[in-house]
Amino acid sequence: MHVVVPFDARDPKTRLAPVLDPDERRDFARAMLDDVCRAVEETGHEPTVLATAGIDVEWPVEVDDRSLSEAINAVLARRDGPVTVVMADLALTTPEALDRVFEAEGEVVLVPGRSGGTNVVLARHPDFRVDYHGVSIRDHRERAAVAGRETTSVDSFRLSTDVDDPSDLVEVLLHSEGAAAAWLVDHGFDVHAEDDGVTTVRRD
């Protein structure tokens, strides 16, 4: 099993700009990448970081500055066996959650993200290709169906929770004990319940 973790090494997590400056966004993104790669390792697989620029990490790095879909499809085209793509901002990821994907049946296994995204793809058929633009979970299901490939969907809170917006930081603080959660705590973030019952994060 070849496991790929795409990572924006240049300007990650721009939607967190209201609460993190550029250097903080890079550091926090690296912490999430660390959490994801360590979870992959604990399943017995070695992750390959597919980065938009060179980065210094303890895992193998492949640099490809093309669009996400183009870069992933290049990997799919040259690999003989199954390929799993795990997004780098899944800070709640655990080995147990990933094992559910690795053990699922089907030529194409998909983990839906929120708002129509696709957070994990396991492609066992060599002809399957990804398209992360637009409503990607719908597009991936349609692509598999047109090709006559069996698709399995894995419903996972931990793997469906990608961290894009400031409101997503609540989930990291409440449900993760990894490097990303520790980074947030170290930088003064905490969960706060507003008077109207809405849960938010505050920074000291």
Q: CATH code at 61?
A: 3.90.550.10
The mean per-residue pLDDT over the stretch 182-190 comes to 98
pLDDT band at 195 (very low <50, low <70, confident <90, very high): confident
CA distance 38 to 49: 12
The pTM score is: 0.95
24: containing domain = 2-203
Give the phi and the psi of residue 135 in degrees, each rounded to 5.
-85, 85
Contacts of 174 (CB under 8 A, 6+ apart): 191
Distance separating alpha carbons of residues 118 and 178, to the nearest angstrom: 22
Asked whether the predicted pLDDT for residue 102 surpasses 80, the reply is yes
pLDDT digits (tens, 9 = 90+) for 136-177: 999 999 988 888 888 999 999 999 999 999 999 999 999 999
**pLDDT of 147:** 80
Is the backbone of residue 40 left (phi > 0), alpha (psi -120 to 50) or beta? alpha
Contact 47, 38 (CB under 8 A): no
Tell me, what's the pLDDT at 47?
98
Count how many domains the chain has: 1
